[in-house]
Structure 1
Amino acid sequence: MPTNVRVIHPPDFLRARADGQVDLEMGKDLLQQVAAAAEPLGAYEVLIDIRDAVGRLTPDEVHELAGSLIQFRRTFLHKTAVLCPRDRFDNARFFSLLAASYGFRNIRAFLSYEDAMEWLMSPDQD
């Protein structure tokens, strides 16, 4: 599955784009690639764009994927926007809720690029 990760300055944010058939291993690989790209950065935000991906993970697979975030704790404690099409919004939102149960409270699902970027660039609200 092709994945394109770019780093754009300033402020730093990572954009990971997935296309092709969705499966659990692809999801885990994508999270690992984002974490590897984030390693040398200080402050950054993450945008994961799955609008061109095909298919859907089962609820059990979404749960396992959310649990795999623990391996990359440092990366995903930053804001992470998951940009998805309307037909997969429920899965992406479920992922963000499960991620929050693992302590990752800054992961959110979005339908529009503009809304995702607005949230990523907004100051943290504590």
Structure 2
Amino acid sequence: MDLVYYLRDAAPDLADLLLMEAEEVGGILLAACHRSGHAQFSRHNLLLNVQSNTPPIFDDDTARHLPAVLAEGWAWLERECLLIAKPNDPNWQFLGSGLVDHSQKMTVAARAIAEKKAVGQRS
């Protein structure tokens, strides 16, 4: 099954997804990747499937705005080395092995969100 279905199931409310920070979206993407059981992931395929599935998974307005939000979340996962580009094919990524399990990966995402909020409160 395509990652987009796992994303739909992992997101608490798709309308809220459009308002989330990159770290929060990254955490949901990470959960979707983990639940899918796939060994590799393609950002291009995910973003394409958001807008082109038949029947549509998302309403038109969500499908129009969701790719930019997901791209930011994906970039955050790559920056944190939670998604790693395949050495022989940079169009595909796999889950980083630096963390042992899914709960540790989600802890990294939650900590980043908390740190960002704490820095914002000190400003």
Q: Please say whether Structure 1 and Structure 2 have the same fold, judged by a TM-score greater than 0.5.
A: no
TM-score of the pair, normalised by structure 2: 0.36
Q: Which has the higher strand share?
A: 1
Question: What's the TM-score, normalizing by structure 1?
Answer: 0.35
Whose helix fraction is larger, Structure 1's or Structure 2's? 2
- Structure with more relative contact order (C-alpha pairs < 8 Å, separation 6 or more): 2
